[in-house]
Structure 1
Amino acid sequence: MQTVSDTTAFITGGASGIGLAMARAFAAEGARLALVDLDGEGLREAKRELEAITEVIAISLDVRDREAMAAAADRTERELGPVRILCNNAGVGSGMGGMNLETMRYEHWDHTLGVNLGGVVNGIQTFVPRMVERGGPAHVVNTSSGSGLAVIGGAQFMYCASKFAVTGLSEAIGSLLKFHGIGLTLVSPGFVDTRIAETTRKLDPAAAEVHEMDPEYREKLERFEELFDPLGQDPDEVGTMILDAIHHGRLYCQPDRLMAEPIQARCQALLEAMPPETERDRQMAEMIDKTRQ
């Protein structure tokens, strides 16, 4: 898409962080906005800021709620016109209970996977059929993470599982969307100042419960936040990069180089684990290439 001017963008997690940054970048270019978030107070603040620039509606919902997503889609298209830009951005951290083997519970798995993966699935299932029916130009933005490309610590195993899934989903469905004139960008941020840990504790009762009852892990998280928060990338920088990726139809948006070495090491380890190439491998590779054409 050469421009997002005079289009409608639907942004989950739009009350703060990267979602709000995308909203600012899109609004500056003339897009109308539907901001979706579970944080009602944050939504109101974001709407007040952006409605001075463009048309904005704010919708409070849980992205795991499929009926609510469908209703939000209907309202958005009724009030602002067809959604041409879909940003599946809402996400949470694993919470303290989802960061160690002793305190993990099904509730933590359900919440992390439900929001980070299920929210993306629900956004795609709600909007992509509409986009395909209308045809392009249109664009989907899925927010994954550097932790969806390589693992730098086992403590984020639930978070990594959800983000690796978003990476695979995006790469696969993006290869199909292009035939309908619809682009897709996979955003894999490193460390951005989004306050995701704080948001997770605020909106996830199970994570908050474990955070309060486990002083050792609470201390570790607070120490981590104290050390790294000053180094967090400005979300507005990321929002501008995403807009540029939409303009140029890029699949990947890598806001920084934080994960460069872990990604390289992972790819090298995978290649080294493979046996020597055989004639069968060459024949299979040729067949796969033909299916991509």
Structure 2
Amino acid sequence: MVFHPGAKVSYVAPYSSHRQANTIGTLNILEFSNHRRLKALHYSSTITSYGPTGFVTGARLLPEDERPAAHLAALPYDTGYAQSQNVAEGIIWDAIDHGFPIAIHRPGFVLGESGICNPDDFTSRLFMSCMEMGSYPSLPGQRQEFVPVVDFVVNSMLHISTKQTNLGHAYNLVHPNLDDAISTIASFELINELSPYQMKGIPYDDWVNSMSERVDDPLHPLTPMLRERVCDQKTRWEVYEGMSEYGRANMVQALQDAPEVLHCRPIETVFQRSLQSRMPCCGRKGGG
């Protein structure tokens, strides 16, 4: 079998910049999987392949086997990365319809567990920026689909891959318990509990204006994405207000005989552990 978890990820680059790696790369991996002997393919997509459909189309529930193509109306308002993943997943579904043995895995926002963080990813940049400014954007209508990389995402993919009957379906690898999904505001409140750098929530526009005035701010390279108005005067981040619920039925069914994976720790615990591992890099410019 073949696992394909690779992708180019940029929140400021357009679709054209992602096309070669994410779209053409998907075609290449399909060709490889079909070379000489047909091999099962476990393809990693993302829950963002649907775009901000909750805000744009009003979709409240996204069943796992629902094709992202049905939510194309939301794609113009998302990043080039999300657009490329939507197109790539459309290619994968077409291959499934033509008899290819494929399973689609859509992880949420994956958190590391090793105690080592990437200071250049969006989460680290966001936390560093907000701790240095002492404020964070107040986005009450959003939640984060945080999941641990090894305990849940990797182990889920491996277990799902052990049964051929799991092929031909998609799996949203988000926390099995919807009640354990953490809101954006709650994530910053957890940082306040763990860090000496206290923050307060302020209106989104005020936060972006304060951040963009700091040319050395970790988030400064992402200013275009954070500022650009794309729909009803809301930015690409704000249009994720009113998020849809991601279906979990396929995932729960496939993991029923793997309770140690299905019974994922509460997201607050996972988030605290990840934050603690990030603290040395998140506080580095503030003297921590």
The TM-score normalised by the length of structure 1 is 0.37
Report which of the two has the higher share of helix.
1
